[in-house]
Amino acid sequence: MNTLKAVLFLFVFSFSSILSFSQEGGDKLIGVWEPSNGKAKVKIEKIGSKYYGKIVWLKEPIDPETGKPKVDRNNPDESMRSTPIKGYRMLKDFEYTGKKEWSEGTIYDPENGSTYSSTIKMKDENTLDIRGFIGVSALGRTDVWKRLQMPKRK
């Protein structure tokens, strides 16, 4: 019976340790963020050990040409061109590397159908520098994203 208690304790301890460790580190990325152009809101979540971001809001959700919700019409993969932009996972596979940085990820730009290598740096708890680049980090561009929250009740 003591052995059972020991194993259960080990389980609970290890689970809570992992949870608290990750929350203190990489999980600070989790939340809803707005890119600098204000055209979208992106919800970053953790799946497994990696971080992903999907588009959850669009400033202009309707395609002015078709009058229908925007789809990923610029995707190089023809089979994806009818996929709705809302719900699209534009950030993929980010791994927390410590020091408030996430790397090894990709960022997709629906406006031109390009996928860039990407790194994320947290400037402060509510500000991200997201850099998309081609091959080497020097060939890239950095965008500033701001954290969003539910409106405070007055």
Partner 1 sequence: MKGSINSKLFLATCLALFSFLPTKVLAQVDSTYVEEEEDYSIYDDLEFVDGDAKRFASAKIKGLSPAKLISLGYDYQMGHDITAGAYKSFVEESAQITAVHGVRAQANIPVISKNSLIIQLGARFWDVNYEFEDEASLYHPLLTTLANNNLRTVGLNSTIFKPLNENSFLLFQVSADMNGDYSIPEFQGLNYNRYSAAALWGKRPSDYKQWAIGVSRTYRAGELNYIPVILYNWTSVSNTWGTEILFPARAHLRYTLNPRNMLFVGFELEGNSYRVGNQNNAFVDPFDGTKDELEIRRGELRFRFKYERQLIGFFWLSAQAGCRVNYSYNVDDVPNGTDFYRGFFGDQPLAMQNTLSNPFYFNVSINLVSP
Secondary structure, 3-state, 4-34: HHHHHHHHHHHHHHHHHHHHHCHHHHCEEEE
62 contributes a contact to partner 1 by CB under 8 A: no
15 contributes a contact to partner 1 by CB under 8 A: yes
Q: From the list 26, 29, 41, 128, which residue makes contact with partner 1 (rule: CB under 8 A)? A: 41
d(CA 7, CA 53): 36
Nearest to 107 by CA among 77, 133, 145: 133
121 contributes a contact to partner 1 by CB under 8 A: no
Q: From the list 20, 21, 23, 36, which residue makes contact with partner 1 (rule: CB under 8 A)? A: 36
101 contributes a contact to partner 1 by CB under 8 A: no
Q: Which residues, other chains included, contact 1 with Cβ-Cβ below 8 Å and sequence gap of 6+?
A: none
CB of 13 to partner 1, least distance (A): 10
d(CA 135, CA 146): 26
Q: From the list 57, 100, 101, 121, which residue makes contact with partner 1 (rule: CB under 8 A)? A: 57
79 contributes a contact to partner 1 by CB under 8 A: no
Nearest to 86 by CA among 39, 119, 120, 35: 39
Nearest to 76 by CA among 116, 112, 117: 112
Catalog residues that contact partner 1 under the rule CB under 8 A.
1, 3-4, 7-8, 10-11, 14-15, 18, 32, 34, 36-38, 41, 43, 47-50, 52, 54, 56-57, 64-65, 74, 76, 80, 83-84, 86-89, 92, 108-109, 111-114, 125-127, 129, 134-135, 138-144, 146-152
